[in-house]
Chain A
Amino acid sequence: MLLEALTLQLGYNATLVAIGAMLLGIAAGVTGTFLFLRKRALVSDAISHATLPGVGLAFIVMVWFGMDGRSLIGLLIGSALSAWVGLLCVQWLSNRTRLSEDSAIGAVLSVFFGAGVVLLTVIQGMSAGRQAGLDSLLLGSTAGMLLSDAILIAVGGALVLALTLLLRRPMSLVAFDSDYAAASGLSVARIDLATMGLVLAVTVVGLKIVGLILIVALLIIPPVTARFWTERTERVWLIAGALGGLSGYVGAAISASAPALPTGPIIVLVAFALFVLSLLFSPARGVLSSVLTHLQYRRRVHRRQGLLALAQGQPIYEGYTLRLLQREGLARADGVATEEGQARAAKALLDEKRWEILRGLQAHEATAARYDGLTNLETILTKDQLRDLDTRIAAPREVTP
């Protein structure tokens, strides 16, 4: 069943939803990247909650003029307008009063959402509103999606994606160094507003599929996940778009494969699963790789210290060091060095001696700063330099008793 859903064989409606969700995921991942890099991820939360009163007002106005209040495009226009007002309120509160941005975000999201709920209850009281089904926009609902809805979502998503790609250079510049961007003649405020406008567009487009409470997840989770895989901006948004698209597509397919699997939450959970996998297993910044790096570092420190002790004929009391040397065949169980152990120990001692000489030399000051008791000097200096160092080590000579 799931395989059929993934290969788009579950029928017309499921296919529409899967493609729509994928496009939405790509657009949200790419747009969300710039929001995340600007460290304003939660502004999207205010924007998405601020859509609700617009939805309610649009419904009331459309019924007033004798139209069908459920027309998706009308509801989306209404939600975009009220989200825009909400965004301006956040900007105004954080720029013109002493309140910080997070307070402004929280105030706008709760108040607009509250006003939206009031409007929803007003609509439930209207004769035309009994079956409005507007609360499906809270959590998204893809059951019975029309072709016209899907086209609207696909076109909207593609348009947002195109605009984001067009604006990606100035937006990443502002995200990384707004002072530099301002100095090079960009209007930071205008670009910020453009970023927010794109986020707003994604939110509005996503209302039908994932709903206004969870659309935030698609804007935040893929960029955060992508950040684990690369250090370069142009790759972050590419990866974030791919992850977002994957989450949307797989999520929609899973939700179509069985009853009582709501599309929005499943898409979010797929995105979250990808996040957890990346957090644990990404090669550069993942938890697993940093644990491994730490263990490897510990092994190197203990091996080096153990070898130095062997070379100087000192007993090893530290349990881990002893076990390590035995496992690697450098020492016997009683702590006496094997043949290979003796060779490696002599080598380690020589290296340590070379470092000691080097640190006393003015000419090698820069190299000496790299001493950490682990690095092999042969990996840093040329053969000639080493030979020069070795001449300074006192040659063995006969000792008169």
Chain B
Amino acid sequence: MSGAEFVPLSLTPLLIGIFAAIACALPGNFLVLRRQALIGDAISHVVLPGIVVAFLLTGAVTAWPMMLGAAGAALVSVVLIEAIRRLGQIETGAAMGVVFTAMFAGGVLLLERSDTSSVHLDVEHALMGNLESLIWLEATGWHSLLDGDALAGLPPELSRLAVVLLLVVLFTWIFWRPLKISTFDEGFAQVLGMRTGLLGIALVMIAAIAAVAAFDAVGSIIVIAMFICPPAAARLMTDSLGRQVAWSVVFATLSATLGYVFAGYGPLWLGGSDSVSAAGMIATVSGVILALTALFGPRRRGMMA
């Protein structure tokens, strides 16, 4: 394939997919180890009402208010889950189920009641994203990467995700040691004087930021899949946290790349004509990777004696 075709049509969606996958997989490693994997699931459901409310307040589909709305909704849901868990003495899973389904239902209702038919805002879009449409029309080939005018036409999702990815990487790098210790032995971390409660909230907030930024570009399916599948697969490969994080980045990148390619070209290879959903295919590929590691991974049964 020539650069003239690849760069404008496939480079940016591919990069956005990879950035989103890695940004979600990094905090996902800790969430999986802390048995909080379903926080990603809950956040990706409650983002919908946040986005709808932001849209109703501003009256336009603009990125920043929507991201703020989504982040606000994520924060509200975390607080609500905690409040219901404490006030009602209900176990976390059930409290989560109550909150995220009710908020999602509220989002759908708001969406149906308000006149959003004129803009591109619907439930299917929220679930599946529109990775395929994030193309870079100004580019004409590889040389456009050095061309300032063409670069100005890059989809804004790309730069936003790049910033968020950088934030996530920095967070993981700076708090590596506290995160590691508090994940494996919370009591020991407290003895060392770490504020483990605060750290846990920071981790959830970082996960929420990654989820919201990725959600904006690629829809909620990829977000949930990338929070869990690459870290889970990586956990079946190694006992060391450092290597697990590295594997998860590899798996996330692999899922995003293969998923995008299969979605775009797979049907052509099989003789079809239309491409299929890239978001769905990326999630599927990450599941296949997880299945393979669950069957053949060297550490699939836990610590070796």
The reply on A115 being an interface residue by CB < 8 A is: yes
The reply on B84 being an interface residue by CB < 8 A is: yes
Asked whether, in the complex, the Cβ of A111 is within 8 Å of the Cβ of B283, the reply is: yes
- A interface residues, how many (CB within 8 angstroms): 61
Asked whether, in the complex, the Cβ of B221 is within 8 Å of the Cβ of A269, the reply is: no
Interface string of A102-133 (1 = CB under 8 A from B): 11011101111111111011101100000000
Asked whether, in the complex, the Cβ of A39 is within 8 Å of the Cβ of B221, the reply is: no
The reply on A40 being an interface residue by CB < 8 A is: yes
- B interface residues, how many (CB within 8 angstroms): 66
Asked whether, in the complex, the Cβ of A264 is within 8 Å of the Cβ of B105, the reply is: yes
The reply on B180 being an interface residue by CB < 8 A is: no
List chain A residues, Cβ under 8 A from B87: 279, 287
* B60-68, B107-115, B188-196, B200-208 - the one binding chain A: B107-115
List chain A residues, Cβ under 8 A from B106: 265, 269
Contact status of A114 and B225, CB under 8 A, knowing A98-B302, A221-B98, A261-B109:
yes
Contact status of A117 and B221, CB under 8 A, knowing A106-B40, A125-B267, A287-B87:
yes
Most buried by A among B38, B87, B105, B128: B105
**5 closest A-B pairs by CB:** A114-B283, A111-B287, A117-B280, A217-B101, A125-B274
Asked whether, in the complex, the Cβ of B287 is within 8 Å of the Cβ of A98, the reply is: no
A residues near B (Cβ < 8 Å) are 36, 39-42, 44-45, 92-93, 96-100, 102-103, 105-107, 109-118, 120-122, 124-125, 135, 138-139, 213-214, 216-217, 220-221, 223-224, 227-228, 260-262, 264-266, 268-269, 271-272, 275, 279, 285, 287
Q: Which residue of the partner chain A has the closest CB to B99?
A: A272
B residues near A (Cβ < 8 Å) are 32, 35-38, 40-41, 45, 84, 87-91, 93-98, 101-102, 104-106, 108-109, 112-113, 123-124, 127-128, 221-222, 224-225, 227-229, 232, 235-236, 263, 267, 272-277, 279-284, 286-287, 290, 294, 297, 299-302
List chain B residues, Cβ under 8 A from A228: 88
Contact status of A41 and B273, CB under 8 A, knowing A109-B41, A275-B98, A279-B84:
no
Complex Cα spacing A128 to B282, Å: 26
> Smallest CB–CB gap between B301 and chain A, Å?
6
Contact of A117 (CB < 8 Å), options: B35, B88, B279: B279
Most buried by A among B222, B228, B299: B228
Asked whether, in the complex, the Cβ of A122 is within 8 Å of the Cβ of B276, the reply is: yes
Q: Which residue of the partner chain B has the closest CB to A275?
A: B98
Asked whether, in the complex, the Cβ of A41 is within 8 Å of the Cβ of B124, the reply is: no
Asked whether, in the complex, the Cβ of B286 is within 8 Å of the Cβ of A217, the reply is: no
List chain B residues, Cβ under 8 A from A125: 267, 272-274, 276
Q: Can you name 18 A-B residue pairings with CB atoms under 8 Å? A: A93-B294, A99-B294, A100-B37, A102-B38, A110-B229, A111-B225, A114-B225, A115-B283, A117-B280, A121-B274, A138-B124, A221-B102, A224-B95, A227-B90, A260-B112, A269-B106, A269-B109, A275-B98
Complex Cα spacing A271 to B229, Å: 32
Contact status of A213 and B104, CB under 8 A, knowing A42-B93, A115-B284, A220-B94:
yes
Asked whether, in the complex, the Cβ of A42 is within 8 Å of the Cβ of B96, the reply is: yes
Complex Cα spacing A221 to B105, Å: 13
Asked whether, in the complex, the Cβ of B102 is within 8 Å of the Cβ of A260, the reply is: no
Contact of B98 (CB < 8 Å), options: A106, A117, A120, A272: A272
Q: Which residue of the partner chain A has the closest CB to B287?
A: A111
> Smallest CB–CB gap between A7 and chain B, Å?
24
Contact status of A42 and B127, CB under 8 A, knowing A97-B300, A265-B108:
no
Q: Which residue of the partner chain A has the closest CB to B302?
A: A98
Contact status of A262 and B294, CB under 8 A, knowing A107-B287, A121-B277:
no
Complex Cα spacing A260 to B229, Å: 37
Complex Cα spacing A222 to B276, Å: 38
Asked whether, in the complex, the Cβ of A114 is within 8 Å of the Cβ of B281, the reply is: yes
> Smallest CB–CB gap between B250 and chain A, Å?
17
